[in-house]
């Protein structure tokens, strides 16, 4: 998806141009440092007048000032652009995912989070790609220009030879990449296993699984170690090949320049320059190569993000027709079915009816790190409403600090907080799906009573999909849906006479 990246480059033209200019200046200065050393040796140290060494010193100070400014400007511009762009992209994609149920449907939260963190960052790194390639070319050009001035053949030889060698070395880098990825993957697996075992330590200890868990971790750890050992060989080979390639260029240059200077074609200073330039030339070539590699990474990241931003084509399938559910305004209606699938289907149909409907999902997800944050759903209820909702749901004993979506709460506490949140939102129609399965019998009874009172006070309509007698007993009417038969309707007390109903409910 080139649009993401080109759009970003267009937005950031000014800082990018500045970064390219600064980075090129920095490269050129880096290239000129050995040259300056050569010139200083040639014209000042090698018997020059005192004035000459002062000029050399001033030149070197000026060169470093320019170099530092260039380097600093580049770093700052790229960092600022990449950070801001990654942030914008992250927020944009997240907003889309949260607003549109069809975006990224069926994908795990961890998977999507990786896209939002790593891939957004990779796309924003496009800025670095551009700057790297531009400044690398600038550095290469200056190096070659200096060398050609000393000797045309030497210059051309290096200008052609070094990129060729760099490309040859680059050929083995995918192999390294694979090994490194494998190393990271096995290391990640070992780390994930360790985290999982500590997280699940209580159940694990409950069935005495610790010794076996330690054995399994040892296996994962050893696999990770072996991958790291192989990865070390791979990175050494790639590093060694790069070093050997630059070494060969340097050796060739030394031999050639040595011969030339003996025959008087180059001066001692020029000899130093040539040797230093030959040692430097690998740097801009590496920059360009890094830029190209980064480009591939950011292209892949952009593709993964683009999928999430594409307009969703398919409209959601209309909910299947089922028995007509007649919900009377202001009532509390209990619905008892004989299967979870039937519940989901019913909840979906009630939600699709439109209007101010809130279907509180059965699986509780709390947001925020404090209880007030968890209760805030953007409807800005007044503190009194929140207080009433907490009391009704028996959730006022809950700590105000929530860890990671409330993992520090018990299942029952989480359900009670979720119920308080739903009550505080005061929707016209509230649909609850098995809301008290993790709440003990005594508390469930109090919550059910609080729920009925609160909803009646709000004049809201409530539908409870549940088999809990405590809840059903508080409903104005209960609908019993079993199989394809027409629904049985009545109060909970009336329906308990129905043997099948009693079997489902009074377990």
Site for another protein in 353-412 (CB under 8 A): 358-363, 365-368, 376-378, 394, 396-397, 399, 403-405, 408, 410-412
CB of 473 to another protein, least distance (A): 4
Contacts of 172 (CB under 8 A, 6+ apart): 237, 238, 241
The window from 6-14, 139-147, 168-176, 211-219 that contacts another protein (CB under 8 A) reads: 211-219
In 3-state terms, what secondary structure has residue 124? helix
For residues 15-44, which are near another protein according to CB under 8 A? 33-34, 37, 40-41, 44
Residues in contact with another protein, total (CB under 8 A)?
Answer: 167
The answer to whether residues 278 and 159 touch, using CB atoms and an 8 Å cutoff, is no
| Distance separating alpha carbons of residues 51 and 349, to the nearest angstrom | 91
Residue with tokens 């990654």: 86
- Rounded to whole angstroms, the Cα distance separating 87 from 43 reads 52
Rounded least distance, CB 462 to another protein, Å = 15
Site residues for another protein, 80-109, by CB under 8 A, read 80, 83-84, 87, 90-91, 94-95, 97-99, 101, 108-109
Closest by CA to 60, choosing from 46, 43, 72, 73, is: 43
Piece of 55-63, 142-150, 284-292, 307-315 that binds another protein (CB under 8 A): 55-63
Stretch in the footprint of another protein (CB under 8 A) among 11-19, 242-250, 308-316, 381-389: 242-250
**Would you state the structure tokens that stand for residue 317, as one six-digit string?**
């399938």
Cβ proximity to another protein: between 40 and 134 the closer is 40
Q: Which of 174, 397, 198 is nearest to 289 (CA)?
A: 174
**Contacts (CB under 8 A) with another protein, residues 450-489:** 466-467, 469-470, 472-474
List 401's β-bridge partners, or say none: 370
Q: Tell me the DSSP string of 471-483.
A: HHTT-SEEEE--T
Answer whether 1's CB lies under 8 Å from 229's CB: no
272 binds another protein (CB under 8 A): yes
Q: Does 55 bind another protein (CB under 8 A)?
A: no
**Residue among 115 and 130 whose Cβ is closer to another protein:** 115
How far is C-alpha 299 from the geometric centre of its chain's CA atoms?
Answer: 16
Question: Distance between CA 420 and CA 412 in Å, rounded?
Answer: 12
Among 6, 14, 45, 459, binds another protein (CB under 8 A): 45
Contacts with another protein, 120-159, as mask; x by CB under 8 A: ----------------------------------------
């Amino acid at each position: 998806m080139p649009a993401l990246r080109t759009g970003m480059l267009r937005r950031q033209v000014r800082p990018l141009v500045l970064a390219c200019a600064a980075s090129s200046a920095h490269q050129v200065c880096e290239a000129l440092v050995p040259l300056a050393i050569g010139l200083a040796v040639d014209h000042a140290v090698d018997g020059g007048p005192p004035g000459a060494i002062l000029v050399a010193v001033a030149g070197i100070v000026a060169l470093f000032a320019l170099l530092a400014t260039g380097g600093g400007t580049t770093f700052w511009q790229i960092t600022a652009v990449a950070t801001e762009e990654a942030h914008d992209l992250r927020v944009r994609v997240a907003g889309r995912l949260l607003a549109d149920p069809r975006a990224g449907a069926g994908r795990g939260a961890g998977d999507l989070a990786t896209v939002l963190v790593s891939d957004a960052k990779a796309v924003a790194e496009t800025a670095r790609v551009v700057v790297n390639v531009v400044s690398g070319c600038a550095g290469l050009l200056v190096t070659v220009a200096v060398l050609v001035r000393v000797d045309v053949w030497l210059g051309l030889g290096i200008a052609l030879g070094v990129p060729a060698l760099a490309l040859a070395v680059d050929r083995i880098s995918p192999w390294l990449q694979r090994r490194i990825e494998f190393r990271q993957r096995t290391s990640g697996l070992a780390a994930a296993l360790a985290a999982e075992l500590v997280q699940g330590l209580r159940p694990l200890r409950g069935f005495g699984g610790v010794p076996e868990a330690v054995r399994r971790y040892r296996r994962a750890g050893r696999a990770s170690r072996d991958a790291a050992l192989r990865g070390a060989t791979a990175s050494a080979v790639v590093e060694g090949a790069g070093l050997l390639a630059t070494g060969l260029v340097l050796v060739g240059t030394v031999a050639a320049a040595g011969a030339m200077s003996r025959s008087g074609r180059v001066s001692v200073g020029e000899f130093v320059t040539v040797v230093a330039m030959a040692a430097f030339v690998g740097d801009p070539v590496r920059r360009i190569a890094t830029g190209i590699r980064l480009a591939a990474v950011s292209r892949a990241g952009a593709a993964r993000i683009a999928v999430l931003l594409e307009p969703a084509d398919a409209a959601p399938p209309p909910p299947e027709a089922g028995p007509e559910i007649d919900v009377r305004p202001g009532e509390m209606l209990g619905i008892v079915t004989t299967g979870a699938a039937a519940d989901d289907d019913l909840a979906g149909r009630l939600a699709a009816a439109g209007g101010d409907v809130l279907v509180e999902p059965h699986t509780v997800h709390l947001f925020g790190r404090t209880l007030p944050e968890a209760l805030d759903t953007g409807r800005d209820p007044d503190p009194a409403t929140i207080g009433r909702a907490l009391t009704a749901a028996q959730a006022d004993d809950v700590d105000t600090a929530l860890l990671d979506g409330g993992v520090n709460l018990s299942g029952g506490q989480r359900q009670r907080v979720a119920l308080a949140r739903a009550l505080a939102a005061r929707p016209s129609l509230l649909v609850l799906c098995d809301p008290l399965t993790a709440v003990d019998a005594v508390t469930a009874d109090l919550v059910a009573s609080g729920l009925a009172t609160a909803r009646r006070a709000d004049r809201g309509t409530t539908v409870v999909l549940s088999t809990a007698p405590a809840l059903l007993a508080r409903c104005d009417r209960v609908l019993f849906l079993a199989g394809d038969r027409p629904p049985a309707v009545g109060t909970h007390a009336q329906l308990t006479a129905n043997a099948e109903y009693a079997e489902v409910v009074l377990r």
